[in-house]
Chain A
Amino acid sequence: MRSTSKKLSVTLMAFGIAIAMRTTMVGQAGPAPQEPRPSPAIDLSGYWSPAVNEDGLERGAGSELGDYAGFAVNEAGRLWALSYDPSRLTLKHHQCDGYVAPYQMRAIGNFRIWEDRDPHTVQLIAIHIWAQTTEGHRTIWMDGRPHPPAWAPHTYQGFSTGRFVGDALMVNTDHLKQGWLRRNGLPESDQATMVEFIVRHGDHLVDTTVVNDPVFLTEPEVRSNDFFRQPADHGAWLYACDDGEQIIGRPPDSVPNYSFGAQPFAKEYSRKYKIPLLSGIAGAPSIYPEFETKLKAATDADALPLLKPAPGPSPISRAIDPEPSDGEIHVWPVSGNVYMLVGDGGNIVVETGDQGPLVVDSGSGQLTGKIIKAIHKLSDKPIQFIVNTSYLPDRTGGNVKLRASGHDPSLVGSFFSGQFRDAGVGATIMAQQNTETHMVEAKLPADGYPTDTFLEDRRRKYHNGNDVEIFHEPHAITDGDSIVQFRQADVIVAGDIFNTTQFPFIDIKDGGSVQGEIKALNDILNRTVFQHEGQGGTMVVPGHGYLADEHEVVEYRDMMVIIRDRVRAMIKDGATLDQVKAARVTADYDTRYGANRGPWTTDMFVEAVYSSLRNPEK
């Protein structure tokens, strides 16, 4: 042992001397060539405060409504902003909205930055940024890990990875929630991504943000934010937000908004500063120098058409499809013993434990074999229960095979097994009675029909350590919809009542309605609890799309209420369906949810809203 250490010592000395000699010899031969090396870290650690020498009004008290100058917003973004009423922030589910990362870096407020390093290798794992405003906590992963899949949840701060490029920390962020580009209503969608470059010159830090948002922007939005270093903790932090009632007795389906063209403050901004109305709403041209000249000749006539949707066809969604189409089933852990399975059309939820799995919905039926295999990896027990949230094909398509693969031991040896030979054979399928009725009407395979139906508002069951509650939502997508809540795991399965991929599929002929859909979304919101600053906590599994929490449901509910308000106002004024369609009442949501082909187009959605409001359910 002693001999080994001597050898090691000699080796180390020789190694050091060899390197020293090599360095000197290289020097003798002339200037050493610059070898590319991995750029070492710049140190961002410490306490930082923003230098608010730019856009002080925006970042302090807040910009005026109608001031969207310098943003490359498209029609949808502009109209979304013009429809926004700041009173929306009085709604309980918006009071604690966080700031999305790009706006967080722009907001006024102090920051703390620190590093996580592996205690054994000292390698940089992550850089953390804690923001005073809305207590946003960003984690920038520096260890080369991949970004999560498209069906993973979105957060206000998003998912960030970084690397050092030259003297900058370059950060890529995605999986952002919907939030602000500017908090006077200018939206940034949940499809936005951000590239950042953070540089430090002495005690001056600059974070340049480049936001790409295919839904609301026509080109990347570049901004840069300055920070100065504090010598110590400034001790000026905030506290976690709690919501509460701001307006007592307000109807639950009220979302403050302005009809297109009715925003009273857009003109106020231009008149206050004696600048053309076009100033605030021109979009990308307003960013470039040529606009300075154009503005001098601008009149209200140039701007007025921009306050309403342009006539013509509606654009389609520019959002990425979060559902995989690789023919595989992918499992995403939701919370506790609850998992989301994606890949076979609609999302499927599996709850596991010491009893057989409880499965919510069975997908389209195309990949049921792989679904069964995936469930068997999560549990060695046969599927015991299947719950259908509606009769629709993407909810019930795999019922037959899934049921056949399962077994409900609670029926074996019971009274039923003496009465029915097949008691306990196959999984028990639960659903609201109307779901079974529609399946029979649609002549779907009988082996897939629910075997345990209910008629009233709530069905409950304690299973696998969860209080499992099934709530009937009458007249939402159909008249047989349910949502399923796992209390201990804190998960709600929304079925097609909520999704992140399209306008809600309101099936009027089978009992769906706009008012019922809004009520169902509010019922979900009445059962969610956020963890911190309006996000996390109760997770909501959509029928289609990425795993969500209450924020996505709130935005979806808002959309439904706003579009309903527009259509209802037009009906009140005697508008026909064609006139409603021509008014493009969904214009601010088309680039997010619109479709002009496939099973559910924008026109079909507008027709459903119109029809539902013209012929309200009794």
Chain B
Amino acid sequence: MQVTLKIFRYNPETDKKPHYAKYKLEAEPTDRVLDLLEYVKGNFDGTLSFRRSCAHGICGSDAMRINGRNRLACKMLVHELHSSKITVEPILGLAIIKDLIVDMEPFFANYRSVMPYFVNDEPAPKQERLQSPEDRERFDDTTKCILCACCTASCPSFWANDEYAGPAAIVAAHRFIFDSRDRAAAERLEILNQQFGVYRCHTIFNCTDACPREIQVTRAIGEVKRAIATGKID
């Protein structure tokens, strides 16, 4: 099938302002949008810039806005778009560096701010710390996060103020807060109880829709809110 790819272009070294470039090309319905971008870069315009690595939805490099929704270009197949017109733009809320590449530093700074690492200073046993399958299951959903920023960059509260930790950082905190082996839940809840913490979330559900790993992001944020409100982790 023939598709028209309309791509957001901006090169700060040569362009005064952003524009859109259109490319017509042949595509298989099962092609990934990433395949089309590679084809355009390889054959039409080598200056087209975007991030990519694993090409199957695990590394989280190629989050972009595809027909208006945040998706991984490697996990979005042409036929799933139900249209031969495909518009590809950078994700919102983060400064554009070039074409589809945005500045990820504020996103990772927010991630780092919630203590996204395991804390347990008690002497470790000789073997593994025990954890029941049920306790393990409690935080399974949020272990899946690949830090692609699809969620955070779909969140109106984050667009309004990038000091808001954002859904991805709260998901990272959730993964540790609800891990029965971890001992720093109180500190993380304190961080997320502050001005730019969980209460900036207005339960809009964009994040859950955007997540390519199908994490129940809004639910995880709700569980963190409840833990702060009740002082209990259950």
Q: Do A and B bind each other?
A: no
A residues near B (Cβ < 8 Å) are none
B residues near A (Cβ < 8 Å) are none
